[in-house]
Amino acid sequence: MSQRNHSDSKKEWMEGPYAQSVQRSPERDYPFETSDGAPVDPVHTGEDIDGWRYLERLGFPGEYPYTRGVQPTMYRGRLWTMRQYAGFGDAEESNQRYRYLLEHGQTGLSVAFDLPTQIGYDSDHPMALAEVGKVGVAISSLADMELLFKEIPLEKVTTSMTINATAAILLAFYVAVAKKQGADLTKIGGTTQHDILKEYIARGTYIYPPESSMRLITDVFAWCKENLPQWNTISISGYHMREAGCTAVQEVAFTFANAIAYVKAALDAGLKFDDFAPRLSFFFASYTNFLEEVAKFRAARRMWARIAKERFGAKDPRSMMLRFHTQTGGATLTAQQPENNIVRTTLQALAAVLGGTQSLHTNSMDEALALPTEKTAQIALRTQQIIAHESGVADVIDAIGGSYYVERLTDRIEEEAFKYIERIDDIGGALNAIEMGFQQREIQENSYRIQMQVDRGERTVVGVNEFTTEEETEPEILRVREEVVRRQMERLQRVKAERDDGRVQQMLKRLDEAARSDANLMPVFIECVENYVTIGEICGVTREFFGEQREVVVI
Query: Cis omega before residue 65 (within 30°)?
Result: yes
Give the per-residue pLDDT at 2. Answer: 43
> Is residue 102 one of the residues assigned to a domain?
yes
What's the domain range around 199? 64-455
423-472 residue pLDDT tens? 999 999 999 999 999 999 999 999 999 999 999 999 999 999 999 998 76
Q: For residue 310, what are the contacts with CB-CB under 8 A and spacing of at least 6? A: none
> Is residue 343 one of the residues assigned to a domain?
yes
In CATH, what number is assigned to the domain containing residue 264? 3.20.20.240
pLDDT string in tens for the chain (555-residue length): 344 455 666 567 556 655 655 545 555 566 678 888 888 766 555 555 554 455 566 778 899 999 999 999 999 889 999 998 888 889 999 999 999 999 999 988 999 999 999 999 999 999 998 999 999 999 999 999 999 999 999 999 999 999 999 999 999 999 999 999 999 999 999 999 999 999 999 999 999 999 999 999 999 999 999 999 999 999 999 999 999 999 999 999 999 999 999 999 999 999 999 999 999 999 999 999 999 999 999 999 999 999 999 999 999 999 999 999 999 999 999 999 999 999 999 999 999 999 999 999 999 999 999 889 999 999 999 999 999 999 999 998 999 988 889 999 999 999 999 999 999 999 999 999 999 999 999 999 999 999 999 999 999 999 999 999 987 677 788 788 888 889 999 999 999 999 999 999 999 999 999 999 999 999 999 999 999 999 999 999 999 999 999 876 666
Angle CA 84–526–125, to nearest 5? 70
> Is residue 554 one of the residues assigned to a domain?
no
**Residue 375 Cα to chain centre, angstroms:** 24
Q: For residue 365, what are the contacts with CB-CB under 8 A and spacing of at least 6? A: 333, 338, 339, 341, 342, 345, 376, 379, 380
Q: Which helix (H) or strand (E) element contains residue 360?
A: strand 359-361
Give the per-residue pLDDT at 55. Answer: 59
Cα torsion angle, 270, 514, 218, 543, sign: negative
CA-to-CA distance for 397 and 72, rounded, in angstroms? 8
350-372 residue pLDDT tens? 999 999 999 999 999 999 998 89
Report phi then psi at 55, rounded to 5: -65, -35
Q: Of 37, 38, 36, 57, which is closest to residue 46 (Cα–Cα)?
A: 57
> Is residue 19 one of the residues assigned to a domain?
no
Residue 170 near residue 193, CB atoms below 8 Å: no
> Is residue 53 one of the residues assigned to a domain?
no
Q: How many domains does the chain have?
A: 1
> Is residue 223 one of the residues assigned to a domain?
yes
> Is residue 38 one of the residues assigned to a domain?
no
> Is residue 55 one of the residues assigned to a domain?
no
